[in-house]
Chains A and B, each alone.
Chain A
Amino acid sequence: MRLPDSVTGSFLVALGAAAAYGGWVLPPVPGQPVGPNVFPLVIGTGLALCGLAIVFGIGHSFEEEEELIPLEDGQAATAPPPQGKLYGLRALLPPALLLFYVFAADRLGFIITAAIMVYVTSSALGAKWKLALPLAALSPFAIHLIFGKLLRVPLPAGLLPTPW
């Protein structure tokens, strides 16, 4: 997800300009010279200026390149995992699963939704089904016991209510 500075900088210019404009159009408080519009205006302008500076590479010399720790002879060099074009998209799996939780938890219930989340995350990180399946079966109950039972968070029951 390493993007060129010109891309992130331009994005910040657009975001800052939008924020400043959004602040500009806010209605003022009657009889008051400053209201809710001042702060977004200031921040938006600042953000846009920062974005411009980043596009032009100002301050880039301060950035420290990440040091790669060389492998010791004792440690076996692990082969880099196969990287396809879509490999980078794996990073989006956790937020996608959280959104899945938002939409599915009320219908499927906490236990089933949580089990699916655990199974998918675990296998995505390289667990065999022998490990991922028991984990997905047991951990939702443990979490439900702590949060639902002890801390009384109203977790949705859905299709499969817990025995307690």
Chain B
Amino acid sequence: MLKTLIDALSLISTWEVIIAMFAASVYGLVIGSLPGLSATMATALLVPVTFYLSPIAAIATIVAASSMAIFSGDIPGALLRIPGTPASAAYADEAYAMTRKGQAELALGAGVWFSAVGGIAGVLSLMILAPPLAEIALSFSTFEYFWLALLGLMCATLVARSSPVKAIAGMFIGLLVSCIGIENPGGIPRFTFGITDLFGGIEPIPALVGVFAVAQVMRAMLTPEPPPLPRRKFGSIMAGQWTLTKKYHWQMTRGNIVGIIIGVLPGAGADMAAWVSYAMSKRFSKEPQKFGTGHVEGLVEAGASNNASIASGWVPSLLFGIPGDTIAAIAIGVLYMKGLNPGPTLFTEKASSMYAIYLMFIIANILMIPLGIAMIRVAAYILLAPRSTVMPIIMLCCAVGSFAIGNNMFGVVTVAAFGVIGYVMEANGYPVAAMVLGIVMGTMVEQAFVTSLIKSDGSILPFFERPVAAILAAMAIGALLWPVMVWVWRKVKPALTAAAATSQ
């Protein structure tokens, strides 16, 4: 234990890791604070750069950039009422109301302080949950993996803020994309239409860059530019945060726990965590009438929640290769490329690397406090950059970055194609996160499914015979039937009340 910890420390105390982490933090803060550029997009554009770094430095950049970007999205939310990332959207109104009351320092300070606390709570959950789960997961066979993957995919469709049918359709589209290529049980070219570039399949990373970055530039083409930020002088930002921590320690803890749970669920990430926690805070508050008028309570809970989900999203990613959110989906791609293939053995064979990841998360969240305060003070200047200078650079990074992944122009074509797919899906209410999950998990689902079928000789029974498999199967089928039950309930309930009314 102590030896692995020392090993981990020596892994992260190289100049490469330190510089990479610092640079990625600044990058994450800037991207997160610009409205329209999300934390996922920041991470996706970072991937080509991680190719040229050592494994630990590569993960350090992702950890630092994603944590910082989630906090940084609070800044324009509080100052402009435009959330910098979707994760801040839940409480942007509240924070802006505080700014109008002259409490901008308190709102932003709560953002940075409770984000850091939430992030550290998330890491603790990762450290406590992952090793015992890895013990259990070691005894999993393909049946358990199949049901687990299915459960993950179903969760993603359940939590989508859209029609579950459209979410399931999005998931199927993602799975269909993963079918392309020769990496299948028979090694036969499948859906390649004779195009040689398609033999290797669709790389997940260019697809993600397309869906999250190019689609965003496309949306920017049709939406008006956000207003510039009025310049203002800030007082002390951290003043009063300790009082808030003592006053709202229960809300903070609840936010942390909700964030951790939502982070672990596949497909649900920081934005969902913030929405749920903000709603919960209002529901259980002693003074719910103050919500919406610039009350800090909801900010505390939701800010603690969205950052907690970032680290806990890595739990299923590291254990099973099932991404906890879209950022973790990108991280999985990087893990594979760096030879840290997700799986339970990662915790026994590469224990020092795991400890290094924990440590980097903790450092990133501590670093967030000074860097965050600095960012709040210079935000007014960064937000002066008009969209017409930022978006062209994003476009160039998309083109060069997707080319760099395989030194292949086909990557750029993939990015363009998935930009269009992501844009059209989003515009019509199909959640792209479900498709992304399908693309990332497709090969794994198919492998587990086909291997299980071969083992069972075409029979369905062995899928339910092992106890863990049976439990997971029940949960997955329950998740599949849940929307149907809700739908039926909604149809039946008005009929019942109408019947009751007529009988009276």
* Interface membership of A161, Cβ < 8 A: no
Give the secondary structure class of B's interface. Answer: helix
* Interface membership of B237, Cβ < 8 A: no
A94 to B413 Cα, complex, angstroms = 12
Contact status of A34 and B392, CB under 8 A, knowing A27-B188, A121-B217 = no
* Interface membership of B502, Cβ < 8 A: no
| Interfacial chain B residues near A121, Cβ < 8 Å | 217, 388, 391-392, 395
A1 to B173 Cα, complex, angstroms = 19
CB of B450 within 8 A of CB of A34, answer yes
CB of B407 within 8 A of CB of A46, answer no
CB of B413 within 8 A of CB of A81, answer no
- A118: contacting residue among B173, B392, B450, B490, CB under 8 A: B392
CB of A34 within 8 A of CB of B163, answer no
CB of B413 within 8 A of CB of A99, answer yes
Contact status of A125 and B220, CB under 8 A, knowing A61-B487, A143-B400, A155-B400 = yes
A80 to B224 Cα, complex, angstroms = 8
- A91: contacting residue among B218, B225, B396, B412, CB under 8 A: B218
CB of B224 within 8 A of CB of A81, answer yes
Contact status of A102 and B165, CB under 8 A, knowing A39-B446, A94-B395, A139-B393 = no
Write the nearest CB–CB distance from A150 to chain B, whole angstroms: 8
Contact status of A40 and B416, CB under 8 A, knowing A47-B172, A124-B221, A135-B389 = no
Most buried by B among A43, A92, A117, A147: A43
Binds A, one of B292-300, B364-372, B417-425: B417-425
For the A-B complex with A3-B427, A33-B457, A44-B176 known, give 14 more contacts whose Cβ atoms are closer than 8 Å. A12-B169, A26-B190, A28-B186, A35-B450, A47-B172, A50-B168, A54-B163, A75-B227, A92-B218, A102-B413, A118-B395, A125-B220, A125-B387, A150-B52
Q: Can you report 18 residue pairs joining A to B where beta carbons are below 8 Å apart? A: A33-B454, A33-B458, A34-B458, A40-B176, A40-B179, A40-B191, A46-B168, A62-B163, A62-B483, A63-B429, A91-B221, A95-B417, A97-B395, A125-B392, A147-B401, A150-B52, A151-B51, A151-B404
Write the nearest CB–CB distance from B228 to chain A, whole angstroms: 11
A33 to B427 Cα, complex, angstroms = 41
Write the nearest CB–CB distance from B365 to chain A, whole angstroms: 27
Count of chain B residues with a beta carbon within 8 Å of a chain A beta carbon: 78
A139 to B185 Cα, complex, angstroms = 46
| Interfacial chain A residues near B185, Cβ < 8 Å | 29, 34-36
Write the nearest CB–CB distance from A106 to chain B, whole angstroms: 8
* Interface membership of A17, Cβ < 8 A: no
